[in-house]
Structure formats: C-alpha cells, structure tokens
Amino acid sequence: MNIEEIRKKCLSVMGAEEFIDKVIVNYKIMEKVFAFFPIAFKNNEHFIVIKCDPVKSAELRKKYEGVTKGYYTGNTLMWNSVYINKDVPDKLIEELILHSANEVVKSLPKYQQEEYISQEKTKK
C-alpha cells in the first residue's frame, strides 16, 4: 500500500474532507479528525495516524510491529501510528481507516451522529 492509496481510502469515507497544511495532511468528518499523516517521511517510512478503540489498539500493538502509539498524539491508546510498509496487511489498514472514522462518529454529539447517519441514508 502506498500513501496515495491511503489518501484515496480516507477520502472514500462518507463526508470526509482533506485539509493540507505545511507538514500534515488531515482527514475530517464533521470537523473532527479521523486520520492524518505527515507529508515528510519519518526515518524513511510513511505512516498514518488513526483513531482506535483502546482495547483493539492494545491488541494491534502486541501483534504488529507496524502499529505503535500515535505520533503527535501523546501517550494514549486512542490513536495509533500505522506504518504502511511494515507487517500490517493492506486490508487491515483499510479496515482501520474505516474503524477510525466510525470511532469519530461515535464520539460526536447525538444530533451530529443523526445528521451523519441521515446523510449516509440519502446517499444510498
């Protein structure tokens, strides 16, 4: 998987918007970040930072060398850095991007969750 495929997967999330500043590319749903990555490589490797359920996060960090604490996010289990050229399967990276978006939607106030769900129903 390459960074352009990551970008396309993030933009495929319903309602996703891309915001690029000088050093980071952010992906948001309803003004809340669900994924981001630095434009420059870190140690010659590219990664995406995504939100994750803390229990699932702990499991992933034990299982994959390419899943670590979220870079720029402090010491929390709610965000992971997922290195795209390590041992994390491409299919799992895609699933984790969708999981991250779902985690963000779950954290929205109820009225925004309902608004998001109604947008989804309208698109189908």
* 47-51 and 32-38 beta bridge pairing: antiparallel
Residue 33, beta-bridge partner list: 28
How does the average pLDDT of the chain come out, rounded? 91
State what percent of residues in the chain have pLDDT above 70.
Answer: 95
Q: Among residues 66, 76, 1, 10, which one has the least CA distance to residue 37?
A: 10
Give the C-alpha separation, 112 to 107, whole Å: 10
All domains of the chain, ordered by start, with CATH?
3-123 (3.90.1150.30)
64 phi and psi angles, rounded to 5 deg: -120, 130
Question: Residues 78-98: pLDDT tens digits?
Answer: 999 999 989 999 999 999 999
pLDDT of residue 81: 95
pLDDT of residue 122: 64
